[in-house]
Structure 1
């Protein structure tokens, strides 16, 4: 028997609740559609909605009967305005960003253009088209000293990446248009042709002989990309505004997460040894513990994402399926 959840006091089976929250018939514009989250949003939303994808590549491998692709540089104001005016979305889902934390510290100008200027361009275009803008932000807007973080907690970014994400949030909050800010962290998942994430990094290293050292003094709540996409789908369906934290439910150190990755994939977790962040000599500081409180999404969205064990089991299943359909190794 499937477990029952409660929505507005009404008991519903889990499958019925999921169907209830998948939006349909909307015009949705997804920026960064070739990234991990963009691909998951396309897979979830394209079958029942009119979807446009935006990315830098000249062409897209994404498809669908009602899918349109635009090659677009979000830092260029006029082309952004033209695409939004032409497609006229009801929702813009902004997943595009520069997320290389150390790279942002070393190239602040590029980071600002991608994480702030691009958001400002989308804001202008969204206001003209009357679109609701859903913007992806980060746990790095916090300093990591007072977890678990709620949506109302004070922000205090340590590095330039976090400062740029907070600036993007602030631009949106003061824009006077319907908007939702979704903060997430430590995103992992499976999709064709995506860049490495923490899980694939650990698996690649475990294929090599010897020990692997992972920091044990950085904690967070790792997030399966499929769960983040589902949470965003619920926000669209319910037309929620404001700030929402969407992440996995388990607060773990990177070292603990890596050891669970090893266990789930039949590797020896004892090969993974702890390391201190200071020993890495990284260009940008990181929050020590940016774990999220998920009380708001449980209350507002009737939603609780998976923990690391369940998330990694889903990751492994999807990875095996992708290897079968595409052949060879996948990230």
Structure 2
């Protein structure tokens, strides 16, 4: 078994660390910010391949993660919930490739005028509860944590290094012109008793989603390609609130509990591969856009396979 350093403490990094440690590897997670300050904490965290190219490998990864989340939802302490909702489509030829991973999808009977939709059951994660649970599980497997910034892979120990640092991954790997930020802003409202979610990515007024959790409703959002702005803006929030209340009138007048903005690490395609040119195995795992939770368990399984494939070469 290898000593593996995972650079990145968001949902991808923590899940990769979990699966490597479960296989018996000695794992260290290195991150300047823990999960509470990562973009993962901002996410609505509903299973859906948003802002990610739906390649066959990505769809397989999403399907594996869907199955794992369904298992986790049986234990309320994980923070994973299974909820029904509607994916709204406003184009004549919507991409339905994601439905292959989701059993029991059906044509939605209630959608905005002029739209179609899919009704289904999806997992979602109450982010603070889920990420805290995941970190506790990882620690229970003996994973070590180092809170520091990594400027170079030369500063990282271990037989194998996994780079899962989101937008920070490119600098550690000598650059990546295909990686870019997509800014997302959300506002969290008090939950008036909603359980059904709505995803309306084709809304002509802007990206719109409503994701009820235990005590709040995550309302979004924005898809600001190329923006590095992590601050929230009142005019953007007002526009989000107008869209979500038009879609779900019960949200009108609900108090704002919190607000946030984060940068999705998007890429022309997810990068999950061994990176050549290093004296030891270095594995890249980043570029998941708005689908970090959606792909996390499947991606972690693929990282484990790459690490195991690298071990004979390392020993030789």
TM-score, normalized by length of structure 2? Answer: 0.30
Greater share of residues in helix: 1
Greater share of residues in strand: 2
Which structure has more RCO (C-alpha within 8 Å, separation ≥ 6)? 2
TM-score, normalized by length of structure 1? Answer: 0.29
